[in-house]
Amino acid sequence: MAEPDQSGAVAVAPGGNKAARRTCGFRKEKAWLKERAGAVIAGIDEAGRGPLAGPVVAAAVILPIERCPKALRNGLDDSKKLSAERREELYDLLLACEGAVIGIGRADVAEIDSINILNATFRAMGRAVEMLNLGIDIALVDGNGKPPLPAHIHVDPIIGGDGLSLSIAAASIIAKVTRDRIMCALHEEFPGYGWITNMGYGTREHCAAMTALGVTVHHRRSFAPVRAVLAGERIQPELFSDIAAAE
């Protein structure tokens, strides 16, 4: 098996399987450090933009680029590509990583319904940066949007960044595990909606439960299926996919 270089990428021998090449590394971080030596770089990502219920959660993570443990360099990736068990393992490794700094922010349902999901996501990202309790110079953000962070922070949006930057991948895992735990706790309060498995996404099970049991205080009333239930309209659970629960 090919060994990863210091960026976290796996070198593939001639004639090797190109599909095995890792794309997630520190290349983006190191490119910025060449341009701005000594800059403090954080990866930022969110979990929970699409669900019908629950908060949106964001994380900001600063990794020790030159001292990042091999287990993280080899293991971190887009959280959607990993099993729940693997995400939990990496979450624990990140919390135990010497030199890593982690901030978590969230925006609750009332904020999502008030200012829309995009702005609520940006607000959660800003809170995650504040929770770092450490000034950063550059924010690598998954996606194509730029959250309105303080003016001195250069925001670099990267489409598919959670599969390219280890810093963003770390934030992806922290945000996803944190939000999943929140939804599992909410499931104990409202067990009929399947949140322990669908995490609030609009799966067939969840939509059928909304029709049968009604809407809870944790549902996003600004989202069309929830509005439809509140209006007494019938939604068709069979039109919804169960795949989204893993996102």
Q: What are the structural domain ranges in the chain?
A: 18-185, 188-246
How many Å apart are CA 192 and CA 210, to the nearest integer?
A: 9
Question: At a CB cut-off of 8 Å and minimum separation 6, what does 156 contact?
Answer: 28, 32, 138, 139, 140, 141
Residue 238: the pLDDT is 56
* CATH number given to 18-185: 3.30.420.10
Q: Which of 134, 242, 221, 121 is nearest to 175 (CA)?
A: 121
Does pTM top 0.85 for this prediction?
yes
Q: How far, CA to CA in Å, does 8 sit from each of 73, 90, 145, 191?
A: 5, 15, 26, 41
Residue 234: the pLDDT is 79
User: pLDDT truncated to tens, each residue of the chain (247 aa)?
Assistant: 333 333 334 333 334 444 456 789 999 999 999 999 999 999 999 999 999 999 999 999 999 999 999 999 999 999 999 999 999 999 999 999 999 999 999 999 999 999 999 999 999 999 999 999 889 999 999 999 999 999 999 999 999 999 999 999 999 999 999 999 999 999 999 999 999 999 999 999 999 999 999 999 999 999 999 999 999 987 765 556 554 544 5
